[in-house]
Amino acid sequence: MNKTKSISVNACRALLALTFIFSGFVKAIDPLGSQYKIAEYLEAVQLSAYVPDWAQLMLAVGLSAVEFTLGVLLLLAIRRRLASKVTLAFMAVMTAVTLWLTVSDPIQDCGCFGDAIRLTNTQTFLKNVVLLSASIVLTRWPLYQVRFISKTNQWIAFYFTIAFILTASLLSLYHLPIFDFRPYHIGQNIKKGMEIPKGAKQTVYKTTFICEKNGVTKEFTEDNYPYDDSTWVFKDTHQEILEQGYEPPIHDFSITDQQTGDDLTDSILTRDGYTFLLIAPVLERADDSNFGEIDAVYEYAKENGYGFYGLTASTDKAVKHWRDITGAEYPFYTTDGTTLKTVIRSNPGLVLLYKGTIINKWSHNDLPQQDELNAPLSLIETGREPEDRTWTKIVLIIVCYVFPLAFLIAADRIWSWTRWVRKREEWLRQKEDWLKQKEQSNRLYQLLKRKRQMRKKIVAGNWKMNETLQEGVALAKEINESLKAEKPNCDVVICTPFIHLASVAQVLDSSLVGLGAENCADKEKGAYTGEVSAAMVKSTGAQYVILGHSERRQYYGETAEILKEKVRLALANGLKVIFCCGETLEEREAEKQNEVVKAELDGSVFNLTAEEWKSIILAYEPIWAIGTGKTATSDQAQEMLAYIRSIVAEKYGKEVAEETSILYGGSCKASNAPELFAKPDIDGGLIGGASLKAADFKGIIDAWKK
């Protein structure tokens, strides 16, 4: 079952990661194209007037960077829980948006893959449903994702990825997109791109004419249009596609002289020789900082007999303003604004044609300089179509991003492996030394064996926040009676909520069952509303108190210093302390369990004197096994308790360590207690849920008789 989950989760993770990386990258390297698409969405919901262009551009760059980075986080399993939740939220929003697009159809192309891949709205919605399902699987079982980088070094990959994708966006914004997926790429003949092959399926349209007569508006088709009735006044028309036919890559390119109404498309595209097109979709917002370089290119074109035309979708007023501020003398013609934005991602940008074929493109930041234009275009590099550098760019991306990331992963894996080897060797060396010492002195071995037999065996119940007062008293009575009938072979302790202590103390036979609290305050007394001091706990008749439980550390922020003070006050009031320690699942997977446990003991109890230590009972509770149904194997538990005993020995000596009772806690049940308690270093259990039923608790206690 776990293997199936692992395969499913990692397959979903790979699908999401690769989709996000590709989608984020193709949009990140075309930030203006992404901005134009965001503008379409804003227009569809009538919000474009409220979001300025610079905010749209920042949103475009930011969303692309987030999508790409999220894909890399999923691919490398970085911050698995957080990345999975963010992915689910992202896909939920995107699926809702594409459902709206599918139903309402306000935009023809959602732009999820930029211009690289175009999907219909229905295809995009179905794609998002699949990705949403994959993100649900990922969120349900995030820890089944296989890590490639240890937690220690994940931040390097994270920040390196953000720096890379933002740099790619800024370079594409300042110059032109790194890869050009649009039909107006270098090498494309615009006229040929508009041709429809012979025999290609034609698109079938339905044209509706709206006319008015005597205040009555009526719609007509081409079949019933009232050609013979001039009293009907034409008002408007609209078309809808009944059957989609072949659509050429370029289908919306036209050049019109607004002054004369003439269509100049053919004359410019079939012009012999070179033609410069200055593309400025919106002249009002065009960058005029390089107008001197534009004028220099125009003068060069005029001197060599090349065409030079400005194309814009702006009004005559905007053209006049441009001429006033730049002194431009070249003619301006009208072309659809969306088409111009597709031709080149720069406002303005320069396109060089040769007999209608796009030879080169330049952003307004990269215009040809005068020293480059020192001869006719046919004789210089500027007039030749540049070599296809697609593979060069791919290799550059691999060298600048993929190789460093791969090197980081390899170095991290080697570092983690050598660290594990060193720790393993150290552990084996310590174990070997201990075994040698054990073998060298049979007398010491016999002493240690007797100490093991003398060590107190304990089963302690931790009721946590369960049972009302009446239920708690009844449960205590039931436990007490069951132990009266059959004497236990170990010490038994029940630790109850504060309100139970005094009442439960009255129904327990203290020779059979000890009583403990689940916590006490780190203050002796005073104005600390809601707190219960160690002295108060002692006054109820309790002899024990649990301190350092992971739930207190996790939910109530108990630190080592706070616990240190609690331990001091508990001991000062004659209470025996059951002190808990243990690691999380992530710490266990990172093989940090030893250092975590040692740090918890160092910070709170290893400051005690040898005399004070006699009142300490340790409880190892792997946090990943508390209340989860998961249990550490008996070998895992033995290994950890042996390690804990070894560090107690380092601090207080072997004899004290052998006299210290160390309990195991974490989904301990009657079924697995005999196997656990049979291990030489496990002296009993700290029992949670199973202590709330007398029969289950008794079953664990009886494990000491097996």
| pLDDT tens readout for residues 597-619 | 999 999 999 999 999 999 999 99
- Which of 386, 407, 428 corresponds to the end of one domain? 386
**What is the enclosing helix (H) or strand (E) of 502?**
helix 501-507
Mean pLDDT, the chain, whole residue set: 88
Please check the confidence at residue 443 and state whether its pLDDT lies above 60: no
Is 238 a catalytic site residue? no
Q: DSSP E strands: which ranges in 364-520? A: 458-462, 491-496, 513-517
Confidence of residue 444 (pLDDT cuts 50, 70, 90): very low
Please check the confidence at residue 272 and state whether its pLDDT lies above 50: yes
492, 522 contact by CB (below 8 A) = no
Total number of domains in the chain: 5
User: Do residues 98 and 168 share a domain?
Assistant: yes
420 annotated as belonging to a binding site for a ligand: no
Least confident of 42-46, 130-134, 282-286, 528-532: 42-46
429 domain-assigned: yes
Catalytic residue among 467, 518, 549, 639: 549
Confidence of residue 448 (pLDDT cuts 50, 70, 90): very low
User: Do residues 420 and 309 share a domain?
Assistant: no
User: Do residues 476 and 588 share a domain?
Assistant: yes
pLDDT, position 449: 46
User: Do residues 231 and 280 share a domain?
Assistant: no
User: Do residues 345 and 362 share a domain?
Assistant: yes
Q: What is the pLDDT of residues 75-90, one digit of tens each?
A: 988 888 999 999 999 9
Distances (CA, A) of 98 to 21, 102, 106, 119, 126: 19, 6, 11, 11, 9
Which tokens is 142 given? 């995030």
379 domain-assigned: yes
Q: Virtual CA dihedral for 672, 677, 679, 680, nearest 10 degrees?
A: 170
262 phi-psi bin (left φ>0, alpha ψ -120 to 50, beta other): beta
User: Do residues 345 and 421 share a domain?
Assistant: no
Could you tell me the pTM of the whole model?
0.57
Q: What is the DSSP letter of 189?
A: B
Residue 220 CB partners (closer than 8 Å, separation 6+) = 208, 209, 210, 211, 226
649 domain-assigned: no
Considering all CA atoms of the chain, what is the largest pairwise distance in Å, rounded to the nearest integer? 125
* Sheet-wide strand order for 274-280: 332-334, 307-312, 274-280, 349-354, 357-363
CA distance 178 to 201: 35
567, 604 contact by CB (below 8 A) = yes
User: Do residues 569 and 623 share a domain?
Assistant: yes
Q: What is the DSSP letter of 113?
A: T
User: Do residues 699 and 590 share a domain?
Assistant: yes
Q: DSSP E strands: which ranges in 194-335? A: 204-213, 216-220, 233-243, 274-280, 307-312, 332-334
Least confident of 123-132, 320-329, 614-623, 624-633: 624-633
CA distance 145 to 490: 43
pLDDT, position 262: 86
Confidence of residue 466 (pLDDT cuts 50, 70, 90): very high
CA distance 345 to 174: 10
627 annotated as belonging to a binding site for a ligand: yes
The CATH number given to whatever domain includes residue 582 is 3.20.20.70
655, 452 contact by CB (below 8 A) = no
Q: What is the pLDDT of residues 192-244, one digit of tens each?
A: 988 888 877 777 767 787 888 888 888 888 778 887 777 887 776 666 767 77
641 domain-assigned: no
| Degrees to nearest 5, angle at CA 81 with 582 and 11 | 120
328 domain-assigned: yes
Confidence of residue 589 (pLDDT cuts 50, 70, 90): confident
Please check the confidence at residue 584 and state whether its pLDDT lies above 50: yes
Residue 391 CB partners (closer than 8 Å, separation 6+) = none
Radius of gyration of the chain measured on its C-alpha atoms = 39
613 annotated as belonging to a binding site for a ligand: no
User: Do residues 80 and 19 share a domain?
Assistant: yes
Which tokens is 321 given? 């303003």
CA distance 677 to 119: 63
> Bridge-partner residues for 475, per DSSP?
none
499 domain-assigned: yes
pLDDT, position 222: 77
Which tokens is 666 given? 């974490």
Tokens 């919106």 sit on residue: 282
CA distance 682 to 619: 10
More confident: 573 or 390: 573
More confident: 109 or 189: 189
Q: What is the pLDDT of residues 630-643, one digit of tens each?
A: 667 888 899 999 99
Alpha helices in 226-354 (DSSP H): 265-269, 291-304, 316-326, 337-343
Averaged over 137-151, what is the pLDDT?
87
Three-class SS state of 380: coil
Burial class (CB in 10 A: 0-12, 13-18, 19+), 516: buried
Which tokens is 299 given? 């003068």
Burial class (CB in 10 A: 0-12, 13-18, 19+), 677: buried
User: Helix 634-652 vs helix 403-440: angle between axes, to the nearest 10 degrees?
Assistant: 70
6 annotated as belonging to a binding site for a ligand: no
The two beta strands, 307-312 and 332-334, are parallel
Please check the confidence at residue 416 and state whether its pLDDT lies above 90: no
Please check the confidence at residue 324 and state whether its pLDDT lies above 50: yes
Of the candidates 364, 361, 356, the residue with the CA atom closest to the CA atom of residue 382: 361
Burial class (CB in 10 A: 0-12, 13-18, 19+), 19: buried
Please check the confidence at residue 446 and state whether its pLDDT lies above 50: no
Which tokens is 150 given? 């240890």
Q: What is the pLDDT of residues 517-526, one digit of tens each?
A: 999 999 999 9
User: Helix 31-44 vs helix 53-76: angle between axes, to the nearest 10 degrees?
Assistant: 110
Q: What is the pLDDT of residues 374-411, one digit of tens each?
A: 899 889 988 888 888 888 888 888 888 888 888 888 88
Three-class SS state of 32: helix
Q: For residue 340, which amino acid is it?
A: L
Averaged over 321-338, what is the pLDDT?
90
Please check the confidence at residue 440 and state whether its pLDDT lies above 70: no
451 domain-assigned: no
689 annotated as belonging to a binding site for a ligand: yes
Of the candidates 381, 373, 383, the residue with the CA atom closest to the CA atom of residue 352: 383
Q: For residue 232, which amino acid is it?
A: W
624 annotated as belonging to a binding site for a ligand: no
CA distance 79 to 72: 11
User: Do residues 147 and 58 share a domain?
Assistant: yes
Is 219 a catalytic site residue? no
User: Do residues 617 and 699 share a domain?
Assistant: yes
Alpha carbon 423 to chain centroid distance? Answer: 31
> Bridge-partner residues for 620, per DSSP?
581, 664
Catalytic residue among 558, 583, 621, 658: 621
CA distance 449 to 444: 8
Domain that holds residue 698: 458-633+661-676+687-705
Averaged over 526-535, what is the pLDDT?
96
User: Do residues 287 and 161 share a domain?
Assistant: no
62 annotated as belonging to a binding site for a ligand: no
Please check the confidence at residue 1 and state whether its pLDDT lies above 60: no
Q: What is the pLDDT of residues 627-683, one digit of tens each?
A: 666 667 888 899 999 999 999 999 999 999 999 999 998 778 888 899 999 999 999
The two beta strands, 458-462 and 491-496, are parallel
Confidence of residue 427 (pLDDT cuts 50, 70, 90): confident
* Sheet-wide strand order for 204-213: 216-220, 204-213, 233-243
638 domain-assigned: no
Q: For residue 479, which amino acid is it?
A: I
